[in-house]
């Protein structure tokens, strides 16, 4: 199995302080004091005790991130030994699971004469500048995948959450989706498409991924702030049974 590397910025950047709805960068207490102490004061972090509590949370989050791969490997091993899937077939990608519209877009993208203008003629909706909307999987596959995820959520198996903002979600690599589903989806289908759509963002060289699901429901994760990461390309799939909307809000890109 191919191993992914972790960017060093993962241990320093985009640390979320929920109480103050603020993402910060932390390399040292001296750097943090210079860049954020006055900002935190303006947000209500008025006492030394409150400020020291912030520093404790940051140190704890950095330590959690450094230990994440070890803990994730432990959970994955336990899941492999104890969890019995409901729909085993959803763990291995077949082209029949993909929406015909998506297959058509990718087949064009693989051609020697493919161009960005040409692929954009096949993508009917540009929801925002460089944000495109199209079906990826069939409804039948989405139904089976959702049932599998719900089955896992109800199980006693350990569950790693995607990030510190989402309390309801699943890391798909721990459940065993990487090798058979996510990796071939990225390498065989997303890479040729992203090479045309995002050549300036490394779309041609997508060599790793982080795949997870998050769950939204009444009474759960009601107040979420911005999410930042260092991904070159993001693919969002809207999964659900009976719902409306499901749109995402995209803010400005931070370079």
Q: Which two tokens stand for residue 204?
A: 């041609």
**Which residues share a beta bridge with 214?**
169
Per-residue confidence in pLDDT tens, the chain, 255 aa: 567 778 899 899 989 998 998 999 999 999 999 999 999 999 999 999 999 999 999 999 999 999 989 999 999 999 999 999 999 999 999 999 999 999 999 999 999 999 999 999 999 888 888 999 999 999 999 999 999 999 999 999 999 877 766 667 899 999 999 999 999 999 999 999 999 999 999 999 999 999 998 876 656 655 566 677 778 899 999 888 877 766 777 777 655
For residue 8, the enclosing domain spans 1-66
Q: Which of 16, 43, 66 is the last residue of a domain?
A: 66
Pair 111, 233 in one domain? yes
Exposure string (b/e) for 170-205, b if CB count within 10 Å is 16 or more? bbbbbbbbbebbbbbbbeebbbbbbbbbbeeeebee
Q: How many domains does the chain have?
A: 2
Contact call for residues 182 and 172 (beta carbons, < 8 A): yes
Cβ neighbourhood burial of 42 (10 Å; 0-12, 13-18, 19+): exposed
Pair 118, 189 in one domain? yes
Pair 58, 129 in one domain? no
**Which residues share a beta bridge with 212?**
171
User: Is the pTM for the entire model greater than 0.95?
Assistant: no
Cα gap 52→63, rounded to integer Å: 17
Pair 97, 215 in one domain? yes
């Amino acid at each position: 199995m191919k191993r992914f590397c972790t960017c060093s910025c993962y241990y320093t950047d985009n640390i979320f302080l929920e109480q103050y709805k603020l993402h910060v960068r932390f390399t040292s207490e001296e750097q943090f004091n210079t860049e954020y102490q006055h900002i935190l004061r303006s947000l209500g972090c008025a006492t030394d005790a409150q400020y020291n509590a912030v520093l404790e949370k940051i140190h704890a989050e950095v330590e959690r991130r450094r230990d994440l791969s070890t803990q994730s490997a432990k959970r994955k091993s336990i899941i492999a030994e104890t969890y019995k899937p409901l729909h085993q077939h959803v763990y291995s990608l077949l082209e029949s699971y993909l929406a015909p519209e998506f297959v058509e877009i990718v087949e064009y993208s693989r051609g020697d004469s493919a161009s960005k203008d040409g692929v954009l003629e096949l993508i009917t909706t540009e929801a925002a500048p460089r944000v495109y909307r199209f079906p990826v999987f069939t409804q039948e596959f989405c139904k089976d995948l959702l049932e599998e995820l719900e089955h896992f959520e109800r199980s006693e198996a350990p569950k790693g959450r995607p990030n510190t903002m989402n309390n309801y979600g699943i890391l798909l690599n721990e459940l065993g989706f990487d090798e058979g589903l996510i990796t071939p989806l990225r390498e065989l289908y997303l890479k040729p498409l992203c090479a045309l759509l995002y050549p300036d963002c490394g779309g041609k060289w997508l060599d790793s991924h982080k795949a997870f699901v998050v769950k939204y429901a009444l009474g759960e994760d009601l107040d979420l702030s911005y999410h930042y990461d260092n991904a070159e390309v993001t693919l969002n799939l809207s999964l659900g049974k009976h719902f409306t909307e499901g749109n995402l809000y995209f803010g400005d890109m931070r370079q």
